[in-house]
Amino acid sequence: MKPSPPSAEPRLLVSSLMFIALVVAAIGSLGAPLITSVASTFHVSLDSAQWTLTITLFSGALATPLLGRLGAGSHRRETILATLGVVVTGSALTVLPLPFAWLLVGRAAQGVGLGLTALMMGVARDHLPEARSAPTIALVSVASTIGIGVGYPLAGLLTDLGGVRAAYGLGLFVTAVAFLAALASMPAAPEGRFARVLLAGGLFLVLFLASETSLWIRHLSLAVALTVAAAFLLCVWTASELRSKAPLVDVRAVRHPAVAGANLAMLVGGVGMYLLLTLITRYAQTPQRAGYGFGLSTFVAGLVLVPFSVLGFVAGKLTPRVRERFGAPLLLAASAVVVLGAFVLFASARSNLAELFVAMGVLGFGVGSFSAAMPGVILAVTPKRETSSAMSFNQVVRSVGFSLGSALGGLVLAAGTDTGHLFPTDSAYSTAALVGIATMALAALTSLLLARQRAPEIEVAALDAPNQGGAGR
């Protein structure tokens, strides 16, 4: 096997990797602040409009392991360009004056781009010097998270000015630029069915249950039955992947204690992170006649996320230095504690808008450092050839965690809404914050357990050994 050549323009490559990760995250989050506007523009119910977000998460979760496997081979560049081509096409469908069904098709196509984040990490690991690859991977992970905060205010502003088509028009523009950036900078990778149906069915049920929060209240027995069905499909998929000679995800690698623990921390942490994001944005937009809230417009409410993105980026820049001193698992635990602190701030102080900005900033710093530390835990025990696949699985776990966090927030607030009232009580937000504190405490505990297992670096060298001297997989 030939060593991968270094990139001729490492700065251009690093910038492109971060930009693409930022764009696909921002595009994926466009559905969240536009749900009400989509419902009124297309004359559909709020539940139907919610699918502009759900279908994006679903297609992204389904595409991520497939792209991770394709990106691990010699056709990585072609895979990235083709995927971005699909995203651009989907973005065009969201802008054209077509019926609501076509908007959902476009959003599903945009969601495919969420699977590119892991490929960006694989490119960084293969084509950048070792001293630059680790910080770049961390920043790509952060960019894929803070992109959520970037998308909210911009989408809100354009919606207020020109309607939902204008907001989706921004998506078309930035995805086209991302495609051109990939075309100019992305190097080729170094040389080197039934399971998909099961995965699609299991993930669809998970995300469906996460988005249809009313189902858990009105039809609990059906929701439980669908949960059992989802667990069954995912268990059968896992068994089939273990037996496959060319699996979408190397489940055996995922079973490594460090990788399994990191994914568990990502799942639990993702639930808590998106839960607080949901709580703060909903609280800010609640009209004051409810007895609390600030009645902010879509755009102004989006500005509340600016501290989230700014401090998330700052944390991502600081994380590599801190990680060298304390280790990635311990940094994960500290980051979870920071997010827990944001929950405490929200639970105890939300009487004025400045307090929401502070809580959102603390959340952004915790999420940014958590996202930047996560790849270090997984890649420490993952051979280079499995970078894309391993991080793809982690991105799927993150998407599921985010979806569950959003659903959990909806469930708690719905339970705290009095009969005949449109908005939940203020105490419902306090209850949801307590749930979030418990969730992040569990994420911190999981990360601390990871810190007790120092995986020797020689393990990765041993895993990579078969690839040396021309041996293939």
Q: What is the identity of the amino acid at 31?
A: G
**pLDDT tops 70 at residue 3:** no
* Top-ranked range on mean pLDDT: pick from 9-13, 310-314, 315-319: 310-314
In this structure, is residue 3 part of a structural domain?
no
pLDDT of 466 reads 41
pLDDT band at 85 (very low <50, low <70, confident <90, very high): very high
pTM: 0.76
* Residue 314 in tokens: 């700052």
The mean pLDDT of 86-90, rounded to a whole number, is 92
**pLDDT tops 60 at residue 473:** no
| Percentage of residues in the chain having pLDDT higher than 90 | 23
Residues 132 and 39 in one domain: yes
Residues 230 and 256 in one domain: no
Find all residues with CB under 8 Å of 421, minimum gap 6, and list them.
Answer: none
Residues 59 and 74 in one domain: yes
Least confident of 81-95, 264-278, 286-300: 286-300
For 400-436, the DSSP string reads HHHHHHHHHHHHHHHHTSPTT-SS--HHHHHHHHHHH
In this structure, is residue 468 part of a structural domain?
no
Q: What is the identity of the amino acid at 248?
A: L
* Residue 18 in tokens: 């971060």
Q: Which of 201, 222, 248 is the last residue of a domain?
A: 248
Rounded distance, CA 200 to CA 189, Å? 27
pLDDT band at 469 (very low <50, low <70, confident <90, very high): very low
pLDDT digits (tens, 9 = 90+) for 38-71: 888 898 876 678 788 778 878 887 888 778 777 6
Q: How buried is 100 (Cβ within 10 angstroms: 0-12 exposed, 13-18 middle, 19+ buried)?
A: middle
In this structure, is residue 101 part of a structural domain?
yes
Least confident of 119-133, 211-225, 294-308, 312-326: 211-225
pLDDT, greater one: 457 or 372: 372
**pLDDT tops 70 at residue 9:** no
The mean pLDDT of 86-105, rounded to a whole number, is 92
Residues 407 and 337 in one domain: yes
**pLDDT tops 60 at residue 471:** no
| Percentage of residues in the chain having pLDDT higher than 70 | 88
Q: Assign residue 147 the CATH number of its domain.
A: 1.20.1250.20
pLDDT of 117 reads 86
Residues 320 and 181 in one domain: no
pLDDT digits (tens, 9 = 90+) for 201-210: 777 787 777 7
pLDDT of 441 reads 96
pLDDT of 4 reads 44
* Residue 421 in tokens: 């009232």
Rounded distance, CA 268 to CA 405, Å? 9
The mean pLDDT of 454-468, rounded to a whole number, is 41
pLDDT digits (tens, 9 = 90+) for 129-150: 877 887 888 888 888 777 777 7
pLDDT of 454 reads 52
Number of domains in the chain: 3
In this structure, is residue 333 part of a structural domain?
yes
Q: Which of 124, 158, 192 is the last residue of a domain?
A: 192
Question: Nearest to residue 31, comparing CAs of 403, 361, 422?
Answer: 403
Residues 286 and 221 in one domain: no
Residues 408 and 272 in one domain: yes
The mean pLDDT of 338-351, rounded to a whole number, is 95
In this structure, is residue 210 part of a structural domain?
yes
Rounded distance, CA 74 to CA 82, Å? 14
For 209-242, the DSSP string reads HHH-HHHHHH-HHHHHHHHHHHHHHHHHHHHHHH
Residues 242 and 343 in one domain: no
Q: Give residue for tokens 């839960």.
A: 275
The mean pLDDT of 233-254, rounded to a whole number, is 76
pLDDT of 71 reads 67
Q: Give residue for tokens 């969420």.
A: 114
**pLDDT tops 60 at residue 465:** no
Rounded distance, CA 320 to CA 256, Å? 23
Show the domain range for 330. Answer: 250-462
In this structure, is residue 272 part of a structural domain?
yes
pLDDT band at 249 (very low <50, low <70, confident <90, very high): low
Residues 242 and 259 in one domain: no
pLDDT of 31 reads 67
In this structure, is residue 5 part of a structural domain?
no
pLDDT of 136 reads 85
The mean pLDDT of 229-239, rounded to a whole number, is 85
Residues 180 and 59 in one domain: yes
Computed over every residue of the chain, the mean pLDDT equals 81
Residues 82 and 210 in one domain: no
For 153-212, the DSSP string reads HHHHHHHHHH-HHHHHHHHHHHHHHHHHHHHHHPPPPP---HHHHHHHHHHHHHHHHHH-
Find all residues with CB under 8 Å of 284, minimum gap 6, and list them.
Answer: 293, 294, 296, 300, 301, 304, 353, 356
In this structure, is residue 102 part of a structural domain?
yes
The mean pLDDT of 264-270, rounded to a whole number, is 91
pLDDT digits (tens, 9 = 90+) for 357-397: 999 999 999 999 998 889 888 888 777 777 777 787 888 88
pLDDT of 73 reads 63
**pLDDT tops 60 at residue 425:** yes
Question: Nearest to residue 137, comparing CAs of 28, 256, 14?
Answer: 14
Question: Nearest to residue 89, comparing CAs of 75, 108, 71?
Answer: 108
Q: Which of 148, 167, 192 is the last residue of a domain?
A: 192
* Top-ranked range on mean pLDDT: pick from 68-77, 145-154, 317-326: 317-326
**pLDDT tops 80 at residue 251:** no
